[in-house]
A and B are shown apart, each in its own frame.
Chain A
């Protein structure tokens, strides 16, 4: 066990105060539920000078519905998200993803914002201080080399949040707030293909709201992940699927993946299947396309080839399931 490093704890009650404290306090980081941040602090991976706790910020705990859709505050817990009937009915994949996160205790205080901003993960990174030290650390934290791809200059730690791919197939957007203002961007735009620095948001920016647009809610969606233990585990690979069908033909198909790239990946070139009749051959082609875009590396104890195959198999199975349901 590591001793807790010294840091101050701030408990702002509104967003404005939170972003101001974050901007004014050198070395400060946000913490919401803490189910990932506190683990990382205990392992010496994060050494914040201060933590800005978001759990007293009321406006981040609301789910608002209007003509545009559902607007989910970043500090809404995964349990509340998964239990919301509007989410279950109109954004099924999102509710399913939230119930697939860790175990029920984590879901009761882990938040949506923390899940979307989750750090990337790797076998050589999510370890105790002494474990990492005995291995000369790694590129992502204090070290020089990557143990996954020695000789390479890139970090391949995998983004392993469950909710992001589900929100991506629903074309979700997010509000980002900083001391200088507020902007709304598509969720896909806050990620980039870099395990070391996968969040394309400005330092200090707070993710305030997840917008799930109503226009995207009419079609069925679903999420599934492979994991070592069914009861509680990060995904080895996960896929969310959204399908719009007319008759037995695909109008539009969307698939997003998690845990197989350093960012949640919205599968490209699926428009190729628009207007195509969904049969076994097409399902196989879809699985192949998914597999070719998944780039799992040796970041878990389970082999990359398995994760690539299983993510294709999940995407195939879920597409078939949605097509039969509609």
Chain B
């Protein structure tokens, strides 16, 4: 059985007929072709597949695509503007928050969710906010610095505006 699904994906409305058993991660990667979102553990443990649904971080691996009917879905592909990285992406790039890069799309989306809710988090709040995402390379220190740098950049832009 297919479900008719209208979602907004990275700002664009689309309609699809999606089998009820299809996971959001498979829909994104196989149907839409957005391969930025990664499949890590398959069981909600690593956070690699984190996307935003209605502004909140969620595992695309544990979410059925058809449940996104009426929802706004945002993936890592939505962050750049005309080839320019977002503040968070730049933070990860410049502060060396990415090494092998596999966890990075999920990390960046978790950070995006965190900073939208709390634009000025202290270190403890960053650690808590990113706790559902695992990185096996960086040791997390660089990731925390990346999020701090992004928060500062966003704040300084807002002050200037």
Contacts and interface: CB of A to CB of B under 8 A. Distances in A.
A95 to B, nearest CB: 15
Interface string B56-68: 1111011110110
Interface string B81-113: 000000000000000000000000000001001
Nearest to A39: B43
A104 B45 CA distance: 12
B29 to A, nearest CB: 12
Interface stretch (B6-14, B18-26, B145-153): B18-26
B47 A103 contact: yes
Interface residue range, chain A:
20 to 34
A108 B51 CA distance: 12
A248 interface: no
Contacts of B110: 105
Given A34-B63, A53-B64, A55-B67, A109 B58 contact: yes
B56 A108 contact: yes
A6 B21 contact: yes
A43 B41 CA distance: 12
B132 A4 contact: no
Contacts of A1: 39, 42
Given A35-B62, A232-B132, A105 B50 contact: yes
A42 B50 CA distance: 17
A104 B131 contact: yes
Interface string A41-58: 011000000110101000
A270 interface: no
B125 to A, nearest CB: 10
Contacts of A42: 42-43, 61
Given A7-B20, A8-B20, A231-B131, A105 B1 contact: no
A105 B3 contact: no
Interface in A79-110: 102-106, 108-109
A8 B57 contact: no
Contact of B132 (A6, A31, A38, A102): A102
A11 B66 contact: yes
A240 B160 CA distance: 49
Given A8-B20, A38-B64, 14 more contacts: A4-B23, A9-B21, A9-B67, A35-B44, A38-B44, A38-B62, A103-B133, A104-B132, A105-B132, A106-B132, A108-B56, A108-B113, A109-B63, A231-B132
10 contacts: A4-B21, A9-B21, A11-B3, A39-B44, A51-B64, A55-B67, A103-B133, A105-B132, A106-B132, A232-B132
Interface of A: 1, 4-11, 31, 34-35, 38-39, 42-43, 50-51, 53, 55, 102-106, 108-109, 231-232
Interface of B: 1, 3, 20-23, 26, 39, 42-45, 47, 50, 53, 56-59, 61-64, 66-67, 69, 110, 113, 127-133
